[in-house]
Amino acid sequence: MTIKEYVAYRKSELTSLIKELNPLPKLVIIQVNEDEASMAYIRGKIKDLQTIGASFEHVKLPLDISEEELLKVIDKYNNDDTVDGILVQMPLPKGISEEKVKEKVIPVKDVDGFHPMSKYIPCTPKGIIDYLENEKIAFSGKNAVVIGRSNIVGKPMAKLLLNKNCNVTVLHSKTTKEDLEFYLAHADIIVVAVGKKYFLENQKFKEDAVIVDVGINRVDGVLYGDCAPDRKVRLQTPVPGGVGLLTRLSMLENLLLCYKERRGK
Ligand code: NAD
């Protein structure tokens, strides 16, 4: 199943589930930027929430808000019983600590899975694992290579693959070109989250490898992945229309989990 088909199918399931719920699950999206990419992400999230019939509130705050005031706003929604999930769109204005903000959202409403004590899996790695499972990709005893070690993608991805009994290698900015090539040549599952257009291109891959391309690189208004398209492998996720859609889907699924957890349904 392509990612588009899979996401459409999962969304239709979520729509049927939400139809039965009263009150509807509600997400609050807090935005403190005028960043173009963020606006596009928020528009996408709102469209998704409307598609599945969930309710939402989009809170736009002034760019000169202080950290203290922003934390107070988050706390208001933490204590609002009608709110099931809270998402603070990054980036934040200079001078506001992302860490403090992520830790302010109470874990039970943390749809992004960013809180250190969160019950929920960060959206990108969750979406990737769920999709690979749906595609019946084998994990146990397989060699998985994760390129990139960010807190939102690389690290949680490596942990999930390890929990699936993969042999996991995490590569990063200090990895040599020779080592990169060595590990890639033996990899069954490759997750690349570096943020460089076609970072992977002419390396040698196993014919039955799976390449999950997380990268989103905008060059002259066009989106490119971290891997050049059409590698000779078993499965390669496209950009656009790939991991970004899975990430959006996971946020909806996490919202439903927040709803059920807090309301005991
Ligand atoms: P990041 O931007 O915080 O960090 C990049 C990572 O790449 C670092 O861990 C670094 O060690 C590694 N790296 C840099 N140069 C390298 C090299 N030469 N060899 C090996 N590793 C190298 O990471 P991020 O936030 O995970 O984002 C990575 C990419 O994924 C970006 O393009 C981002 O836009 C994209 N992204 C996409 C989604 C999605 O839903 N599709 C979600 C999150 C991030």
Q: Percent of the chain beyond pLDDT 70?
A: 100
Question: Residue 67: which residues within 8 A CB-CB, separation 6 or more?
Answer: 95, 96, 97, 100, 101
Q: What is the position in ligand 1's atom list of the atom closest to the CA of 172? A: 21
219 beta partners: 222
251 pLDDT tier (thresholds 50, 70, 90): very high
Phi-psi region of 147 (alpha: psi -120 to 50; beta: other; left: phi over 0): beta
Q: How far is CA 177 from its chain centroid?
A: 27
Active site positions, annotated: 45, 89, 112
Cβ contact 86:74 at 8 Å: yes
| pLDDT, tens only, 157-185 | 999 999 999 999 999 999 999 999 999 99
Q: Which residue among 216, 222, 223, 246 is best mutated to probe the pocket of ligand 1, counting the most ligand atoms within 8 A of its Cβ? A: 216
The confidence band for 20, taking pLDDT boundaries of 50, 70 and 90, is very high
Separation of CA 124 and ligand 1 centre (Å):
12
- CA 44, 91, 252, 217 dihedral sign is positive
Q: One fold for both 3-114+245-263 and 124-239?
A: yes
Superfamily for the 3-114+245-263 domain: Leucine Dehydrogenase, chain A, domain 1 (3.40.50.10860)
> What is the CATH code for 124-239?
3.40.50.720
pLDDT score of 258:
97
What average pLDDT does the structure give for the chain? 97
Return the domain boundaries, the chain.
3-114+245-263, 124-239
- Is the model's pLDDT at 94 over the cut of 90? yes
Residue of 192, 190, 167, 170 lying closest to 179 (CA atoms): 170
Residue-wise pLDDT for 194-209, tens only, equals: 999 999 999 999 999 9
pLDDT of residue 203: 97
pLDDT of residue 119: 86
